[in-house]
Structure 1
Amino acid sequence: MKIKKLILPLLPVFAVIGLIVFNACKDAPNAGSNTTASTGLTVPAGFNAVAIAENTGSPRHMVVTPENDLYVHLANNRKGKSILVYHIDGDKATLKSTFGDFGGTGIAIKDGYLYASNNTDVFRFKLNDKNEVVPQAQPERIVTGLIGRRMHEPKAICLDNDGNIYVNIGAYSNICSDYDPKATGCPILDSAAGIWQFKVNQPDQHYGDGVHYAWGLRNVVGISWNQQDNQLFVMQHGRDALHDLYPNLYTEKQSAELPSECMFAIKKGDNAGWPYVYYDWMQNKNMLGPEYGGDGKKPADPKYINPVAAYPGHYAPDGLLFYTGSQFPEKYKNGAFIAFHGSWNRAPLPQAGYCVVFQPFKDGKPDGKWEVFADGFAGANKSPGGAAHRPCGLAQGPDGSLYVSDDQHGTIYKITYKK
């Protein structure tokens, strides 16, 4: 009894110590890491990072051909063009050509076509046998008329193996509070906050021509087709302002850490639950949102799918890539790299993210704790305005090298491994 009386007053102290240790470790790079002098990036031992292109504009997503040509989609036109093509020779990138007149995010190559999106449409360009865009060829518009408003408007894309393309349509809202969700539900769910599936070879498809493939996803920028599992995977940006909107239910610290940024394995018809639910990575469960009667303790309706992996709040996942190469050590094979763009709203905690992490996989599903793979992009100031660089897109080269885009100051990095 005396021991119990002695320990009980110290429990809050132990909790704080544990919290400090957790926060100190979770953003730390792998043991045995090294910092590359030329870039300032920290990567695991045996890896090297170089900047192969700088001042490119605002590069978002990228794709690399078997011929080592890197296609980079810019958020905005640069000198009238929005897609840059670099030829990669070792650690040197030479600009070959530019084309396209629509800024955006999504880009992909499959079966002789290059696909690229702006904020309302998806286009494709015919490629020749060297995976080069046919000169003077006009893009074919395959999807048009998607909602693109100021908030969450980029359209990330990916393709499966059956002639379909998947397009994210982000919610133009934080939590659908612009309406009266208790009375009417969230009316924007019919045309936003989800993933739509379209055919790759049909021109000018609208909403009605596609399939509303998945529901309840606030905003997805990282999206990829998992070849090992033959399934769609996405990274969701979680909601904001739990404390600001409900200070009686959530502390500032809870609001900084919640809700989770989530990885979902998506099947047709899945509903991830936005705006009605959010995921709490500290309790490891879906929670009912406070707008719908939640109090930080009530669980969500089990009809909503759970994420397959969860990460601290507000890291902003903008890139997702499954590593299928053989250059990196075996532990990376079929695992996922995630580019976290970085937070703006984790006060009173320090801002975080601004890194590339690795999520181990086994048999097509996450397996084990994620770890920081590449860090140091932001430099000394982890904030949207002050960061030196912010990771956004990921691409894999034919030799297994990993490419990372920075849409803050236009740098493209190449990360390699040597035994």
Structure 2
Amino acid sequence: MNSSVRIMVAGALVATAATLTAYKSGPGATHNKPKNVDIKVPAGFSVSLLAEDLETPRHLAVSKGGDIYVKINKLKDGKAIYRLRDTNGDGVIDEKIGFGDYKGSGIFIRDGYLYASSNTGVYRYKLNDKEEVIDYNNPELIVKGLVAKGRDEAKNLAVDKNGYVYVNIGSPDEICKEPGTNKGKIPCPLLDSVGGIWRFKTNQLNQQYSDGVKYATGLKNVVGLDWNTSTNSLFVMMHGRGKFHDTFPQYYSPQDSEKLPAETMYEVHQGDDAGWPYVYYDPFQKKKILCPEYGGDGKKTGGEKAIDPVADFPAHLGPNALLFYTGKMFPAKYKNGAFIAFHGQSPVLKKGYMVAFVPFKNGKPSGKWEIFADNFAGTDLAKPTGPVQHRPCGLAQGPDGSLFVTDDLNGALFRITYKAPKK
């Protein structure tokens, strides 16, 4: 049963130059507060607004000391990463440091380093024992020269415990057609450098494509990915394609285009192929269907050698973050399960802009997905009365087991905690 939790502004966070600055809360604050939004979460959970005015916060990582490193997609005051800190433990962000001058989305903490991506490469920053960045001004460039052509160019990443970083390289073309035709290219030449996950070493500088491994292919664009420590494997969320009815009205109705294809979760291993651009996953037929550009008609199956998704979700929800929960704060049902931040909305469900949850058991989904945190939009998507207020994008787990959520529409940062209801 869901309870509605009123978001209250915990304190002021205002614009500043990109240097160490203290923020003090108080009645004299003049910044614009976001409109009140009733975020619905399960009983026992509560939501607080930690920060705002973060421009376009995408993904984030939280250190063991509680510092929050947020990757900014559009530079704020010329900086790409902000370290946020609650200096006195009162639940208010009152200190911020900006560093890095490259746009991008990916960020991850693992084994003494903070990894952060630009749209063409990956950097790392050495951390001290408290997981604080030692030198903000001199990161090591470990990957460079990755393709970025203006669309789906963010290099989202995950890092395993064996010294490898996994980088999504999305495709700027969602169909891979022959110019001037509706026919797809066979083989699709894009797959040589985009449309998959590439793996690189974490301890080698200036790596390029030739130094890495094309770990998995057939993935149009993966914005959410995470290394599952319980299975010791990589899981990814792929953004599905569109434009069925527009180009092939003989096979697809406008209603079909609203429902297809599914947004999909995959467990990927080296050498796997998820089938893009040749096939898509139909959640109603529960089959991989041949794309119309490659001879399909909405019924013909294909991709016999392509892997199947481990879970699927309604079309157009836009999965932008994936996080496997390993904390102890939340109830047992959430342990090792997957949280997903959906950045879009389903025309069929009239739902979106939410955080969902998928229960896992023995490394596999063990039940239907469910909405965990809803109504970031702040309006009824079936009958909207105003603009969308917040759009979940990034997820991270705090050292205490709390869940952090970024909002790249209004520049906000939320924290979700749990306390068992009194019986």
TM-score normalised according to structure 2 size = 0.88
Q: What stretches of structure 1 move > 3 A for 4+ residues in a row? A: 178-184, 349-352
Report the secondary structure of 1:217's partner residue: coil
Q: Report percent identity of matched pairs.
A: 52
- Which residue does the alignment assign to 1:260? 262
Question: What's the CA shift string for 1:100-143, capped at 9, x where partnerless?
Answer: 11121000111211110011011111112221111454011000
- Which residue does the alignment assign to 1:355? 354
- Which residue does the alignment assign to 2:80? 82
- Which residue does the alignment assign to 2:235? 233
Q: Quick check: 120-129 or 155-164, which moved more?
A: 120-129
- Which residue does the alignment assign to 1:324? 326
2:123 aligned with 1:153:
no
- Which residue does the alignment assign to 1:27? none
Distance 1:157 1:381 in 2: 33
Report the secondary structure of 1:291's partner residue: helix
Q: How far apart are residue 185 of structure 1 and its match? A: 2.3
- Which residue does the alignment assign to 1:285? 287
Question: What's the CA shift string for 1:306-360, capped at 9, x where partnerless?
Answer: 00000000100000000000100100000000000014xx66x475421100001
Report the secondary structure of 2:93's partner residue: strand
- Which residue does the alignment assign to 1:49? 47
Give the residue type in structure 2 aligned to 1:47.
F
- Which residue does the alignment assign to 1:170? 170
Distance 2:184 2:81 in 1: 44
Unaligned runs of 5+ in 1: 1-30
- Which residue does the alignment assign to 1:308? 310
- Which residue does the alignment assign to 2:222? 220
- Which residue does the alignment assign to 1:8? none
Distance 2:184 2:262 in 1: 23
Distance 1:171 1:62 in 2: 23
- Which residue does the alignment assign to 1:91? 91
Report if the CA contact (8 A) 1:126-1:137 is conserved.
Answer: no
Question: What's the CA shift string for 1:128-176, capped at 9, x where partnerless?
Answer: 2221111454011000000011111111000011100000000111211
Choose which of 190, 194, 199 in structure 2 pairs with 1:197. Answer: 199
2:407 aligned with 1:372:
no
Distance 1:35 1:69 in 2: 25
Give the residue type in structure 2 aligned to 1:58.
T
Distance 1:294 1:285 in 2: 13
Choose which of 44, 62, 71 in structure 2 pairs with 1:73. Answer: 71
Report if the CA contact (8 A) 1:381-1:388 is conserved.
Answer: no
Report the secondary structure of 2:255's partner residue: helix
Q: How far apart are residue 96 of structure 1 and its match? A: 3.3
Distance 1:98 1:364 in 2: 38
Q: 1:368 to 1:166 in 2, by over 3 A?
A: same
TM-score normalised according to structure 1 size = 0.89
- Which residue does the alignment assign to 1:101? 101
Q: How far apart are residue 94 of structure 1 and its match? A: 2.3
- Which residue does the alignment assign to 1:119? 119
Report if the CA contact (8 A) 1:381-1:387 is conserved.
Answer: no
Number of corresponding residues: 385
Distance 2:136 2:118 in 1: 20
Superposition CA RMSD, Å:
1.7
Matches within 5 A, 1:394-413: 394-413=395-414
Q: How far apart are residue 381 of structure 1 and its match? A: 6.5
